[in-house]
Structure 1
């Protein structure tokens, strides 16, 4: 067998005013045709998994571009088209292949392209023809409709949010493709539109863990090959946005539609209990004034880069100062200029520093403050899963009014507690820790925090869906509309 593998992705927030350019892919993850050499990361994992599996089978592997950028606004047209055309050119140059395996995000939008994944895969299909199999792994915060389903043969989404199963899902895609190429199965796919938007963590107390277990229990039985709940990406103003249930079954299109509808309706029934609750900003600051035996964790949800925000607002930091909260930490705050200045003045220096509030209108005002440089680290990183690492660029930790602020030159979420421990922040001793995350930190902090609040802060990624200026989103859709499927009383 001969297969072609590549990666291309980013998650696009259409409410973010700053674009995603080619440099953002270079900064996050970029590998040209040698995925085995890449540092283990969430973006290298699927390609590395497929390469190892294929080589173990004695298959020939043609590698192309592997590129990912952190979430932000729409990708520039030149950036997208150059990467797309690089992959398509490599596919043409490869000659005949038996299969194509692609790791894509599923929520990538570019100037002139509402659905980059569908555009790319349809063009790939035109090159390889109808007999070559195309398998895709997608993030569960994706947009999908029948265009992509018809262009591909196998689609598998992450099952977990927080995302910890990217390599596991890569194995699943490979397994299904291997069985398809061997003639053991003939995948048929179908979607069910759940007419919902929101955030539905799979580890949160409530019905989602059980729903995920039901999906996994159904796989491998009665012709069902794979089930995926695509949660959708709620900060995208697109007609196809929203939650979709995908069923992949063996050789029976009617069964695929029936199973997708069954599980889609099951999710619809639990959607309200499954959605992530948010705490008002003022309430969170009031609770942050209290002292406990362990830190209070405040998730600054509207300014976390994982949903396309810049990660440079100072609303929480300013509120801490105004409330008299001192034994606190704010991490990570993206400010390359402030980091550069800290490196120039050196460790231990005291200076007047302008922090944050630089990148877009939603960034809000900068904070001007007296700062002491506590820690400097060049070209640093944080851990992820296993031996995976995330680049975070240069790091400066400063103390402002008794509050330790971790500044980075590259945009990042907190993926591991070592983001703080490696850079001198003893988080266990803090009264409160504010992190520019949405949910991925929950399990990390659970053993060492007295409480975690998911706070509706000001910012690009406002979690108040009814307040977002949607114009193109197809209506009716929950929670903007009460019961779009008319099933609540059934």
Structure 2
């Protein structure tokens, strides 16, 4: 393609899942019902104008004047590894739509990078193998989450690989737009993408790119590298520490314009800096009770506390009660969102707004959840749980399922029938809970809430309790290969 030739043809799709192998024992495997699926015109309606990976791809297509074939996109909330039958069905849906597209110049795929098909197969590599076999001549671009686990084979299958720089992931659309632009440039012969990688014998605990953090310093380094002549993209992938597979590891991926030596040099530079700084990434746990005391000791105003050990965005059960139990002892108004408890939601709906009923909140998944909270609660509101996100994934809908706001003592608890991470205040506002009116607002999230609640307060903490998605990743029992990586092992095996 060159000059004023025909408009490039681009297929857009994705299969997105962040899979925790530790959660299979607690939640089973991720089935088809867990995935939100869109294809054809529905895909365009769902993602156009949103701050998502697919939204960024569609922006890149518009800028390139491309003829877009919206293929198929499926995404589930992070959770246990994906069942084999579910994966096969989702793969066939994507391939079927790509077959309809015919020969494409460019294929733009939204992948997480930490997808696992039970027991330990990389879902992302499987997708790329299938797409590459179907469309061998297309320029294949992939955008992945900052927490991707990136095996070397993935780079053999894709032509362009980018990932998020920010955590919270507020730059998803920017990074996919870059991937799309590079793919179109490669398709018309303007650049020749070459990939370089360095995998490290380590996994990082959840490490937000907040000011003064080592994660922010590494982010700034990869941004600086991207401004160097000949460098097209550079990403530090933290890895996903809740997948105990051979693929799991931190890595650096660099894309250069026809210069493999430069790609490797840049990847090595970032990797060496990370290895030197690794001890600064260790998590100092803050138990729920101490987090509450610290929040109350800081003067008036709202404090937002993330339930860091039970984040559905890491695959957590979403019904751990440790932080909720500590919150119930606070004599001032507090709120908690959301607790995944379909049984309590059903009981609240049956009782109706204004009713008082006995509840047994959460604690339904053994040690992953803690003991249930038994109390008397008053039903304050019932909603459909549908919101539009305003910070991360801005403009994209989210469905918490039927929800109930109940009051236990001085705490308003939003109970949901779908397991979802809280990214911003919208699910609270839907239930009449204005965050600024509470002394403490606790949310099921470990880092992403920081972007969504930044307009509410700058006082944010993360509480740590026991659980298979705890931030202290070195304390999680793991029988598989990641036990040999730092910080699980002080002498990590070579990678």
TM-score by length of 1: 0.91
**2:33 aligns to what?**
23
Q: 2:159 aligns with which of 139, 153, 173?
A: 153
Distance of 1:397 and 1:167 partners within structure 2: 33
Pair 1:164–1:449, CA change in 2 (3 A): closer
Assess, with a 3 A threshold, how the Cα gap between structure 1 residues 41 and 104 changes in structure 2: closer, same or farther.
farther
Partner of 1:369: 375
d(CA) in 2 for partners of 1:261, 1:365: 46
2:210 counterpart residue number: 203
Does residue 1:70 correspond to 2:77, yes or no? yes
**Partner in structure 1 of residue 439 of structure 2:** 431
Indicate how the Cα distance of structure 1 residues 170 and 356 shifts in structure 2: closer, same or farther if over 3 A, else same. same
In structure 2, list runs of 5 or more residues that go unmatched: 1-7
Q: Residue 215 of structure 1 is aligned with which of 222, 233, 236?
A: 222
User: Cα distance, 1:242 vs. partner?
Assistant: 1.8
Q: Aligned to 1:393, which of 390, 394, 401?
A: 401
Are 2:197 and 1:191 aligned? Answer: yes
Q: How far apart, in 2, do the equivalents of 1:164 and 1:354 lie? A: 36
- State the Cα distance separating 1:41 from its structure 2 match: 8.7
1:230 Cα offset (Å):
0.5
Q: Does 1:254 align with 2:272?
A: no
Aligned pairs for 1:4-153 within 5 A: 4-16=11-23, 17-18=26-27, 19-25=29-35, 29-34=36-41, 35-38=43-46, 45-112=52-119, 114-129=121-136, 131-153=137-159
Q: CA deviation at 1:135?
A: 0.5
1:230 aligns with 2:240: no
- For residue 472 of structure 1, the aligned residue among 473, 480, 489 is 480
Q: Structure 2 CA distance, aligned partners of 1:106 and 1:77?
A: 17
Matched, 1:173 2:183: no
Note the C-alpha offset of 1:290. 4.5
Equivalent pair of 2:225/2:266 in contact (CA under 8 Å): no
Quote how far apart the aligned CAs of 1:148 are. 0.3
Is 2:128–2:158's contact at 8 Å kept on the other side of the alignment? yes
- Once the two structures are superposed, residues 93-135 of structure 1 have per-residue CA deviations (whole angstroms, 9 ceiling, x without a partner) of 4322222110011111122552011011012212222x32111
Deviation at 1:155?
0.5
Does the 8 A contact of 1:40 with 1:389 survive in 2? no
Q: How far apart, in 2, do the equivalents of 1:345 and 1:446 lie?
A: 36
Q: Would the alpha carbon gap of residues 384 and 412 (structure 1) be closer, same or farther in structure 2, given more than 3 Å must change? A: farther
User: Over aligned residues, Cα RMSD in angstroms?
Assistant: 2.4
Question: Whole-Å Cα distance in 2 between the matches of residues 32 and 224 of structure 1?
Answer: 34
User: Is 376-385 or 172-181 further displaced after alignment?
Assistant: 376-385
Equivalent residue of 1:38, what SS?
helix
2:355 corresponds to which residue?
349
Which range is displaced more, 370-379 or 142-151?
370-379
Query: Relative to structure 1, is the Cα distance of residues 164 and 79 closer, same or farther in structure 2, using a 3 angstrom cutoff?
Result: same
Q: Where do 5+ consecutive residues of structure 1 fail to align?
A: none
CA–CA separation in structure 1 for the residues paired with 2:111 and 2:168: 17
In structure 2, relative to structure 1, the CA distance for the partners of 1:293 and 1:46 (3 Å cut) is same
**Mapped partners of 2:48, 2:468: distance in 1:** 30
- CA separation of 1:81/1:276 partners in 2, compared to 1, >3 Å: closer, same or farther? same
Tell me the alpha carbon deviations over residues 237-256 of structure 1, each in whole angstroms, 9 at most, x when there is no partner.
01221210111111122221
Distance 2:130 2:458 in 1: 51
In the alignment, what sits opposite 2:449? 441
Higher mean alpha-carbon deviation, 403-412 vs 195-204, is at 195-204
Distance 1:433 1:49, change over 3 A: closer
Q: Distance in 1 between matches of 2:130 and 2:277?
A: 38
Task: Give the alignment's TM-score, normalised by structure 2.
Answer: 0.90
